[in-house]
Amino acid sequence: MGNKVVEIREALREAIDEEMERDNRVFVMGEEVAEYNGAYKVTKGLLDKWGPERIIDTPICEEGFAGLAIGAAMTGLRPIVEFMSFNFSFVAFDQIVSTAIKMYYMSGGRYSVPIVFRGPNGAAAQVSSQHSHCVEALYGNLPGLIVIAPSNSYDAKGLFKAAVRNNNPVLFLENELDYGIKSEIPEGEYLIEIGKGKVIEEGSDLTLVAHGRMVKYAKEAIDRAKKKGISIELIDPRTIKPLDIGMIVKSVQKTNRLLLVEEGHLFAGISSEIAFQVNERCFDYLDGPIVRVCQKETPMPYSKSLERETLPNPDRIEQAIYKCLDRE
């Protein structure tokens, strides 16, 4: 079998459909996932194929339907819960944090919670302060939860199928602006192991680590730096938790410099954790300080120009590359 080119939303839809075919315990629920075919059309056509018992529209009540899905998972089903935005997961925060991720521990292993919470994470285009949060650092702080953030169609499908089959709660972080991005995936079934990063591009002068939408911006900055003779190794962790720190350490031991890019905020972010772990494991290999490019410490502005200045972008990443290499 060969390959085909699909959008990220199509790759996710294929993953959901295949897992529903494979296991009749898998079902989907969330706001507008059925009759409207999903806010971002990830679930398009699934109601017609699987019916309202397995593709379930919910009221606008994240705390209620998240709790219902957690109960279903505890009693043997495998729910996929769509949040129209991960900003709305905050309404269900108590259900996720106090029940889903603690139940296996608190029940002494009696109750697993095999559930996937999925939907768009981070900023879209001018959706302002209440709809632009990056949640991976908030949720990544909590034991008992797997956090995944794919950057392309291939990873989205393979990791989503692995997430559905996992017996733990999973946060699957997508991006509203990335759903239409296309890339190749195999025609047949495949899974990607959770917790394994990917070297997207090999290099020798600098290691750059980025995840989710930031991979696209990092590639743009790397292409510019190449024209100046700079060789950069780009790593996409793919899974935020568990983190493939071994891959990052191995790369830093080769390049001796590290640049971290994330859409979330600087303070107590994912880049903070990676930087500390690298310092712990290979401090003597570093030829200079670790550099970070993150969202600025402000609520997200509505203004398009201010939004661009607040978020990481290729220009800021390119300047950070030169800073990391002492070429400012």
Q: Which of 7, 31, 82, 131 is flagged as catalytic?
A: 131
Q: What is the pLDDT of residues 20-41, one digit of tens each?
A: 999 999 999 999 999 999 999 9
Residues in the chain: 328
pTM over 0.85: yes
3-state secondary structure of 77: coil
In whole angstroms, what is the distance from residue 317 CA to residue 315 CA?
5
62 tagged catalytic: yes
Q: What is the pLDDT of residues 182-235, one digit of tens each?
A: 999 999 899 999 999 999 999 999 999 999 999 999 999 999 999 999 999 999
**How far, CA to CA in Å, does 180 sit from each of 30, 41, 100, 219?**
21, 10, 31, 18
**How far, CA to CA in Å, does 115 sit from each of 20, 61, 98?**
14, 18, 15
Q: What is the pLDDT of residues 130-139, one digit of tens each?
A: 889 999 999 9
Handedness of CA 318, 319, 324, 328 (dihedral sign): positive
In whole angstroms, what is the distance from residue 323 CA to residue 109 CA?
49
In whole angstroms, what is the distance from residue 71 CA to residue 65 CA?
10
3-state secondary structure of 314: helix
Q: Residue 179 — very low, low, confident or very high, per pLDDT cuts 50/70/90? A: very high
Average pLDDT taken over every residue of the chain: 96
Q: How many CB atoms lie within 10 A of CB 161?
A: 21
In whole angstroms, what is the distance from residue 237 CA to residue 284 CA?
23
Helices (H) and strands (E) in the chain, counts: 12, 14
133 tagged catalytic: no
Q: Which residues of 284-316 are buried (b: 16+ CB within 10 A; e: fewer)?
A: eebeeebbbbbbeeeebbeeeeebeebbbbbeb
Q: What is the pLDDT of residues 244-266, one digit of tens each?
A: 999 999 999 999 999 999 999 99
Q: Which of 10, 19, 62, 273 is flagged as catalytic?
A: 62
pLDDT of residue 127: 87
Q: Is the Cβ–Cβ distance between 257 and 286 less than 8 Å?
A: yes
DSSP string of 181-249, one letter each residue = -EEEEESS-----TT--EEEE--SSEEEEE-TTHHHHHHHHHHHHHTTT--EEEEE-SEEES--HHHHH
Q: What is the pLDDT of residues 70-122, one digit of tens each?
A: 999 999 999 999 999 999 999 999 999 999 999 999 999 999 999 999 999 99
pLDDT of residue 327: 80
Percent share of the chain, pLDDT over 90: 95
- Find, among 101, 76, 99, the residue nearest to 26 by Cα: 76
* Phi then psi dihedrals of residue 321, to 5 deg: -60, -50
**Which residue type, as a one-letter code, is found at position 147?**
V
pLDDT of residue 328: 65
